[in-house]
Amino acid sequence: MSINNIERHNFQVFNQDFIVDNRFQLIKEIGHGAYGVVCSARFMESPEDTTIAIKKVTNIFQKTLLCKRSLRELKLLRHFRGHKNITCLYDVDIVFQDNDVNKEFNGLYLYEELMECDMHQIIKSGQPLTDAHYQSFIYQILCGLKYIHSAKVLHRDLKPGNLLVNADCQLKICDFGLARGYDENPVKNNQFLTEYVATRWYRAPEIMLSYQGYTKAIDVWSTGCILAELLGGKPIFKGKDYVDQLNRILQVLGTPSESTLERIGSKNVQDYIHQLGFIPKVPFSELYPNANPQALDLLEKMLAFDPQQRITVDEALKHPYLSIWHDPNDEPVCASTFDFGFEVVNDLEDLKMMVINEVDSFRNFVRQPLMENEQTSQQEEFGEQNHTEEAHNNGSIEISADNLPAHRSTSNENTNSERLQQDYNNVISEFLDLEKELEFGLDGNHLEH
C-alpha cells in the first residue's frame, strides 16, 4: 500500500499544518520542541473512542543528522513494537505537498500510543509518591532495558522526560533517536565516544571521561539517576557544565580507586581528579534519610563510578527491592538483534529514500495481518475454507482499538487491559582549559550539551 493512497485532511497544531489521515479528529495540542509538534487525536471510526498521539517531525530532509535520527527512531520502534514498557508506534505517514515546481516535504507523522504525562512532569508537580511507586517505575524501566539490551541496543538518553506514564502507573520508554548498537567488548564501542549522548545530568562518568569504551552499564547509570531523582524530588547530579558535572559526581561518590582512574582515557582528567585530593563518599542514607534501605542499596549498586562494578540489568531485576514485581516469566528478551547497518549511509538523498521506504514498509507491515484476515473472511463467505478466522477490523480500517497492542496493568498480576489513555498530558577559572577539553570530548571533537 503506497503512502500516497491515503485520504487526508488538514488542521492547525501550534500554528503548523497537520495533514493527517482524515479519520482522525484533533482533540488538543500537547507540546512542541526542537524536533516536532504533538497533538492528541480521536479515531472517528472506532466504537471505543480510541485516542492516540500524533507527532509531526519537520525538517528531517534538510540535515543528514536529523534524517538519520528519524530513520533510526522508525526502525527501532518497529523492532521493539509490542513490548509493554516501550512506547508503541501504531502507524506512520509521510506527506509531500505539490507546488508549482515539485513536491515539498510537509512532515513525518508518527501515530503513537497516547500517554498522560512523562515522569519529569510527575516529579516537577510535587505530587506525593510512595515507595511502591518507585519500585513499580524502576522495575518497568529495567524490564524495558532488558528487552532493548538483548537486541544489542543502547538507549543512551534515558531521563525522566523520556519515560511516559499513565495514571495507573504504566510506564513506557520512548525516544530512540540517540540509540546505538554495542559490542560486549567495550573497546569496540570507541566510535561512540565522540558523539552526543545522554542529557548531561544522566550521563555516565565513563562517557564524559573517555573510558576505554562503554557498554550497557551507561543505561543502568541513567536509571540510577532517575531512582535518586524519585527519592529526592530533584536531579542528583545537576551539573552546569562538563567540569561541574564531574565535580558533583565526585562530591557524592567520592574519589574513585586508582584502578578505575587508570582506565580514564585522558591524562589531564586523571591529574585533575588527583589534584582535588581525597574526597570522601557521602552515604546515600544521608542524602535520602527517609528512603527504603533496600532502595538505597540498589541505588548504591546502580551508581557505582566504575562501570565494571555497576550492577547489571538482570541483577537489578533480581534485587530484593524489586522482589514484589520480579517475575522472570514476564521479563522477555527480544527475538533478534537490531541491524544498525544503515548507520554507514551519510548521503542525504540516500537517507531520504531510506526514510520513505521505511514508512512504506512499516505501513504494509501493520496492515498485512488485516489484509490477510479480510481475505480469509471473504474466502470463508464463499465456502473456500472451512476454518474460521475473524478479521481485526471493519473493511479497510488501518488503525482501530482492535489492532492496538493490549496493555498490561501495573499490578503484580499478569492481567491485560485494552484501556487506551486519554490525555497526556562556575567552573573556576584555573580549570578553563580542562573544561574546554571535556566540552570537546577530550579529543578535539565537539560534544553537544
Asked if 8-114+347-417 and 117-337 have one fold, the answer is no
Say which DSSP state 76 is in: H
Q: Is the pLDDT of residue 390 over 70?
A: no
pLDDT at residue 185 in the model: 62
Q: Give the domain 117-337 fold.
A: Transferase(Phosphotransferase); domain 1 (1.10.510)
How confident is residue 380, by pLDDT bands cut at 50, 70 and 90? very low
Sequence spans of domains, the chain: 8-114+347-417, 117-337
Q: Any catalytic annotation for residue 183?
A: no
Residue 83 three-state SS: coil
Residue with the three cell numbers 518497568: 140
H-type alpha helices, 202-283: 205-208, 217-232, 242-253, 258-261, 267-275
Domain 8-114+347-417 falls in which CATH fold?
A: Phosphorylase Kinase; domain 1 (3.30.200)
For residue range 329-376, list pLDDT tens digits in order.
999 999 999 999 999 999 999 999 999 999 999 999 887 765 455 444
Phi-psi region for residue 49, left (φ > 0), alpha (ψ -120 to 50) or beta? left
> Do the Cβ atoms of 399 and 109 come closer than 8 Å?
no
**pTM of this structure:** 0.80
% residues pLDDT > 90 (the chain): 57
Active-site option among 21, 91, 157, 219: 157
Least confident of 164-168, 181-185, 265-269, 279-283: 181-185
The arithmetic mean of pLDDT across residues 15-21, rounded, is 88
103 labelled ligand-binding: no
Q: In 3-state terms, what secondary structure has residue 349?
A: helix
In angstroms, the CA 230 to CA 161 distance is 13
